[in-house]
Chain A
Amino acid sequence: DIVMTQFPDSLAVSLGERATINCKSSQSVLYSSNNKNYLAWYQQKPGQPPKLLVYWASTRESGVPDRFSGSGSGTDFTLTISSLQAEDVAVYYCQQYYSIPNSFGQGTKLEIK
């Protein structure tokens, strides 16, 4: 099974500042035949289900603000929020869909400083 590890576990950032969340997979999630990274990011607010933000490591889901961006390849990935807004307070999860069982990181809690 692929283990996903996120860091930090929690993060406090001032409004308008950049937030960076990291995710590392225990093995590469880059599929060589199509050069795609099978990595997604989700946002979960209290009492709500997760919401898909980014897939293929860097493709933003329709309707997601462009302040959210994903990057990375292989085993190391980053979700960046370029200018933190109050509504971005949430827990963020990375997920690999390279292999079964699909697996998630433990989550990173993002708060306002």
Chain B
Amino acid sequence: QVQLQESGPGLVKPSETLSLTCTVSGGSISDYNWNWIRQPAGKGLEWIGRIYTSGSTNYNPSLKSRVTMSVDTSKNQFSLKLSSVTAADTAVYYCARDRMGYVYEYWGQGILVTVSS
């Protein structure tokens, strides 16, 4: 059974960089595409970006200038970095595996990241 687990700091200061890692178990990270999706409290879902099996990436244009995603196949992990954060970046961040670039079939439980001084 595929499982995803987000990890990282739950509190980030404004203007700093948010860094999260998603650890994948139950399958090889090399065979699929991986995504980050976030959800502010009580609000809807926002797709942040995707990293493909090739290592190439697609980011949401609204965040593109601040987002970097990468994969570490040796650890079966992928990561998210979001720079210059503000309070508007406070959200639950989910990692997810997609099905051929389409729907999100496996999700982590999510990690709450609060941006505050």
A contacts, CB < 8 Å to B = 1, 38, 40, 42, 48-52, 55, 61, 93, 95, 97, 100-107
| Cα-based distance from A52 to B94 in the complex (angstroms) | 14
Q: Is the CB of A106 within 8 A of B60?
A: no
A-B contact count (CB 8 A): 48
Supposing A49-B94, A49-B107, A49-B108 touch, asked if A101 and B102 sit within 8 A by C-beta, the answer is no
Near A by CB (< 8 A), chain B positions 51-108 give 58, 60-62, 94, 96, 99, 101-105, 107-108
For A95, what are the chain B residues with a Cβ–Cβ distance below 8 Å? 45, 103-104
Measured CB to CB, the closest approach of chain B to A70, in angstroms, equals 12
- Assuming A40-B102, A104-B46, what are 20 further A-B pairs, CB within 8 angstroms? A49-B109, A49-B110, A50-B104, A50-B107, A52-B104, A55-B102, A93-B45, A95-B45, A95-B104, A97-B101, A97-B103, A100-B58, A101-B47, A101-B60, A101-B61, A101-B62, A103-B47, A104-B44, A104-B47, A105-B44
Q: A50 contacts B45, CB within 8 Å?
A: yes
Residues of B within 8 A of A (CB): 43-47, 58, 60-62, 94, 96, 99, 101-105, 107-110
Among B61, B94, B102, residue most surrounded by chain A Cβ atoms (within 10 Å): B102
Whether A104 pairs with B105 at a CB distance below 8 angstroms is no
* Contact of A55 with B46 in the complex, beta carbons under 8 Å: no
Closest A residue, CB atoms, query B49: A101
Contacts of B44 in A (CB 8 A): 93, 104-107
- Which of chain A's residues has its CB closest to B110's CB? A49
Q: How far is the CA of A72 from the CA of B47 in the complex (A)?
A: 23
With A and B bound together, what is the CA distance between A103 and B62 in angstroms?
Answer: 12
Output the nearest chain A residue to B92 by Cβ-Cβ distance: A49
Partner of A52, one of B58, B105, B110: B105
Task: Kindly report which residue of chain B lies nearest to residue A102, judged by CB atoms.
Answer: B47
Alpha-carbon distance A38/B101, docked complex (angstroms): 11
Residues of B within 8 A of A103 (CB): 47
